[in-house]
Amino acid sequence: MNTGQSSILARSLHGFFTDYLLQQRAMSPHTRHSYRDSLKLLLRFASGKNGDPCAIMVKDLNAEQILAFLQHLETRRKNQPATRNVRLSAIHSFFRYLAGQHPEHLEQAQQVLGIPFKRTRSREVQHLDSDEIQSVLHAINRSTLPGRRDFALLSLLFNTGARVSEIVGLRVSDLRLTSPPSVLLQGKGRKERVCPLWPETASLLREYLEELGVHPDRPEILFRNHRGALLTRFGIRLILAKHIKRAAKELPSLKNKRLHPHSIRHSTAVHLLRAGVDLSTIAHWLGHASVNTTNKYLNLNLEAKREALAKAKPLVHISRKPGAWKQNTNLISWLEAL
């Protein structure tokens, strides 16, 4: 075994996660965990069933091996192309870092970076309409503390359109519940933004904190589970799914939608757009780095306008009487008479 080659890979992985992603790129914990899982799967695949991942050398992770790994993801693990692309994105990022740190592996890195992403079918952006949002909130049993927590949590998500990762790490001290109320959110790349709160949302959060006996200035985690630990992304997904299932009994349209916590973010964007808020403001509201990311909601709004147009009666009535040119079978004569 070439311990020098193995140590290069180990040092590069260590620097990639502890320095490059964390310090230089300031990537979120969610992204770092996704990259970690992708490279962990790759190392296990490359080492084989009974092999030792620590014995893998840089040269073992060539383009041919990476392609075999990607094929394994789709055929054996039944991953969709979108998931396959996520794994490849992590591999690309690591090899870009490796090439910069160890130029002797530049050619190998370029071959890996040349592996293309697969085309994927873009899914329809699922969102909740206003009546569906109200139905979900009304389905929550607010007679219990967990129910009041869920009501405050989902109300805050609908108000801000925040990412779930931004909500799970939210602290009480990030809230400003005096007039004008707002919340400080930390988005991707540790970018901070202030999002305004409706007075109703601020009142809900104030009541929730009073019930918990927590002072608004305390740097404590805002939303916790029944064990007192902070809620996870998966926990919020379960909370939303539970209340959507209950609301769907009264509003069947909810049964036909693929909804998850990110759908709330889409719902907020569509609600703002239909209220006449411009795309630039919505982009800042949601923490989009570029307004181009927000443009996808335009299609949703246009579709809503088409549906409204179809329900409305036309204001212009077209006469069914044939035009003079149709009455005159001699088109040339009609043209000359103009």
DSSP labels, 279-298: HHHHHHHHT-SSHHHHTHHH
Q: Is the pLDDT of residue 327 over 90?
A: no
Domain definitions of the chain by residue range: 3-113, 130-311
pTM of full prediction above 0.75: no
Q: Name the CATH superfamily housing domain 130-311.
A: Intergrase catalytic core (1.10.443.10)
Query: Which one is predicted more confidently, 191 or 123?
Result: 191
Please confirm, yes or no, whether 262 is among the known catalytic residues. yes
Domain 3-113 has CATH 3.30.870: no
By the 10 Å C-beta count (0-12 exposed, 13-18 middle, 19+ buried), 261 is classed as buried
Query: Which position among 72, 188, 257, 260 bears the catalytic label?
Result: 188
Is there a catalytic annotation at residue 297?
yes
Q: Which of 163, 255, 274, 326 is catalytic?
A: 163
Give burial (CB, 10 Å; 0-12/13-18/19+) of 264.
Answer: buried
User: Residue 268's closest CA among 166, 190, 171, 161?
Assistant: 161
Q: Which long-range contacts (CB under 8 A, 24 or more apart) does 272-276 make?
A: 272/161, 273/297, 273/298, 273/300, 273/301, 274/301, 274/304
Question: Of these residues, 206, 262, 274, 284, which one is catalytic?
Answer: 262
Taking only the tens place, the pLDDT of each residue in 37-91 is 999 999 999 998 778 888 899 999 999 999 999 999 999 999 999 899 999 999 9
Annotated catalytic residue within 20, 35, 97, 297? 297
**Is the pLDDT score of 9 beyond 70?**
yes
pLDDT given at position 1? 47
217-250: pLDDT as tens digits: 889 999 999 888 889 888 999 999 999 999 999 9
Among 92, 127, 148, 265, the one annotated catalytic: 265
Tell me if residue 265 is catalytic.
yes
Of 127, 149, 243, 288, which one is the catalytic site residue? 288
